[in-house]
């Protein structure tokens, strides 16, 4: 933090926040602070109710196990009681839901949705096709990677003129692989010298870690996997349909935070009942997802989301605190980071931290 602040001031900025925000849509720290100040009160009343619900869930859970309870709801209780609430209040067992989302069936169906909406055609390439693209037949970095050629069906059918580029899917975890979900661009769309006809072949890769499958079952997608697939494919589609002249202005090189906008819009599909029904079928029986399960699942989108947003707001305020001090000396003097962090999280969400849980050790 001290070095970041020093660098920003050497470059003529008032703080690291001002330096970093220059490249983002907000542009300056005033916009960020005004944004969260405006947002916070809108969530507070609902968040209070949510926290009360979570506290009741925790009270009942600990009582059922005859465990003692200090009456507090801590930040680290959040994930656990959120899940318990989903299981008990919404009667939704995530592992049962997953049985309707076998990986490759679901991915095909998700691509069908993008295909219909954007007028694209996805054709899976076979390893024999790889030789046409590369003399040694090596076009991927691992044998598990699946490659699709992508065509714009509205331009010129499936001939060369309609060819857009390649989509690669690297879906399984393995040693040494990036452990989250992401979409990466291997080649940007742009026009080579010679104009539109010599456009590059943008290539984009979905890197996921789905599974491993439980013995006897195919690879099934969890709710988080589905969300990730819709989101990351949103990035991939944005890239594949880019019509920019210069690589510098390809969809990947928009403002860093704006790049999320198309993916966020496209991930909305995963909360649509009709879409979910078309994407899922039971891996064993082939049955569609029962309506009552869907009706219980879709409302979980908003479960405890006011609190979740306030937690983000607390993090934003902390970010501003440590990166946006008036003078360099103020940053140097900010020695104890934990206390203001705990206070900001508590102030925004009402959830308590280690300073309350174990004050003796914590406030030393
Ligand atoms: Zn994203």
Residue 319, domain member (yes or no): yes
pLDDT of residue 156: 56
Phi/psi-derived region of residue 12, left when phi > 0, alpha when psi is between -120 and 50, beta in every other case: left
Edge-to-edge strands, sheet with 146-152: 120-124, 146-152, 163-170, 203-207, 182-187
pLDDT tens string 130-188:
888 888 888 899 999 999 999 988 775 444 578 899 999 999 999 999 999 999 999 99
pLDDT tens string 251-298:
888 878 888 988 888 888 889 999 999 999 999 999 999 999 999 999
Residues 73 and 124 in one domain: no
pLDDT of residue 217: 86
Residue 107, domain member (yes or no): yes
Residue 174, domain member (yes or no): yes
Buried b (16+ CB within 10 A) or exposed e, 12-30: ebbbbbbbbbeeeebeebe
pLDDT of residue 157: 47
Question: Distance from the CA of 109 to the center of ligand 1, in angstroms?
Answer: 21
Residues 210 and 157 in one domain: yes
Question: Distance from the CA of 232 to the center of ligand 1, in angstroms?
Answer: 6
pLDDT of residue 113: 92
Residues 248 and 229 in one domain: yes
pLDDT of residue 196: 65
Number of H helices, E strands in the chain: 17, 5
Residues 70 and 16 in one domain: yes
Question: Distance from the CA of 228 to the center of ligand 1, in angstroms?
Answer: 9
User: The domain spanning residue 168 has which CATH number?
Assistant: 3.40.390.10
16-30, 72-86, 260-274, 315-329: least confidently modelled range: 260-274
Mean pLDDT of the chain: 91
Question: Distance from the CA of 53 to the center of ligand 1, in angstroms?
Answer: 31
Residues 44 and 162 in one domain: no
Residues 55 and 159 in one domain: no
Neighbours of 326 (CB within 10 A): 9
Distance CA 98, CA 102 (A): 8
Q: Work out how many domains the chain is built from and give that number.
A: 2
pLDDT of residue 158: 46
User: The domain spanning residue 46 has which CATH number?
Assistant: 1.10.1370.10
pLDDT of residue 160: 59
Question: Distance from the CA of 233 to the center of ligand 1, in angstroms?
Answer: 9
Question: Distance from the CA of 124 to the center of ligand 1, in angstroms?
Answer: 24
Question: Distance from the CA of 335 to the center of ligand 1, in angstroms?
Answer: 34
pLDDT tens string 206-242:
999 998 777 788 999 998 899 999 999 999 999 998 8
pLDDT of residue 363: 63
Percent of the chain at pLDDT exceeding 90:
70
Residue 246, domain member (yes or no): yes
Residues belonging to the active site: 232
Residues 8 and 124 in one domain: no
Residue 298, domain member (yes or no): no
Measured in degrees and rounded to the nearest 5, phi and psi for residue 351 equal -85, 140
| Among 232, 253, 286, residue at a domain's last position | 286
pLDDT tens string 53-105:
999 999 999 999 999 999 999 999 999 999 999 898 888 888 899 999 999 99
Residues 162 and 262 in one domain: yes
| Among 255, 286, 317, residue at a domain's last position | 286
Residues 266 and 190 in one domain: yes
Element (H, E) at 124: strand 120-124
CA 149 to chain centre: 25
Please state the pTM of the whole predicted model.
0.85
Residue 300, domain member (yes or no): no
Residues 242 and 333 in one domain: no
pLDDT of residue 220: 95
Question: Distance from the CA of 183 to the center of ligand 1, in angstroms?
Answer: 8
Residues 263 and 134 in one domain: yes
Residue 294, domain member (yes or no): no
CA 111 to chain centre: 18
Range of the domain at 83: 2-90+305-362
Question: Distance from the CA of 236 to the center of ligand 1, in angstroms?
Answer: 10
Residues 160 and 280 in one domain: yes
Residue 157, domain member (yes or no): yes
């Amino acid at each position: 933090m001290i070095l970041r602040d020093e660098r920003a001031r050497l470059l003529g900025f008032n703080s690291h926040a001002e330096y970093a925000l220059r490249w983002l849509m907000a542009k300056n720290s005033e916009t960020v602070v005004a944004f969260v100040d405006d947002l916070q009160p809108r969530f507070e009343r609902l968040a209070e109710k949510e926290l009360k619900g979570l506290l009741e869930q925790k009270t009942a859970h600990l009582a059922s196990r005859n465990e003692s309870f200090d009456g507090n709801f801590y930040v680290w209780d959040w994930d656990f009681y959120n899940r318990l609430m989903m299981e008990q209040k919404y009667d939704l067992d995530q592992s049962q839901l997953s049985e309707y989302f076998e990986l490759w069936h679901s991915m095909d169906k998700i691509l069908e949705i993008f295909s219909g909406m954007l007028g694209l055609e996805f054709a899976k390439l076979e390893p024999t096709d790889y030789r046409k693209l590369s003399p040694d037949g090596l076009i991927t970095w691992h044998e598990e990677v699946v490659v699709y050629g992508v065509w714009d069906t509205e331009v010129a059918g499936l001939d060369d003129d309609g060819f857009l580029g390649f989509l690669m899917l690297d879906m399984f975890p393995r040693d040494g692989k990036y452990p989250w979900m992401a979409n990466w661009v291997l080649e940007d769309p742009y026009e080579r010298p010679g104009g539109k006809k010599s456009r590059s072949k943008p290539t984009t890769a979905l890197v996921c870690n789905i599974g491993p499958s439980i013995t006897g079952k195919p690879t099934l997608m969890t709710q988080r996997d589905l969300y990730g697939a819709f989101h990351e494919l949103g990035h991939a589609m944005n890239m594949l349909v880019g019509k920019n002249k210069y690589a510098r202005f390809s969809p990947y090189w928009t403002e860093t935070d704006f790049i999320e906008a198309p993916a966020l819009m496209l991930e909305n599909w995963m909360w649509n009942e009709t879409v979910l029904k078309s994407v899922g079928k039971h891996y064993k029986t082939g049955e569609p997802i029962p309506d009552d399960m869907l009706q219980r699942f879709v409302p979980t989108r908003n479960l405890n989301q006011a609190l979740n947003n306030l937690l983000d707001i607390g993090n934003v305020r902390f970010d501003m605190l440590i990166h946006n001090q008036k003078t360099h000396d103020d940053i140097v003097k900010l020695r104890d980071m934990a206390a203001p962090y705990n206070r900001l999280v508590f102030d925004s969400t009402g959830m308590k931290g280690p300073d309350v849980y174990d004050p003796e050790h914590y406030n030393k």
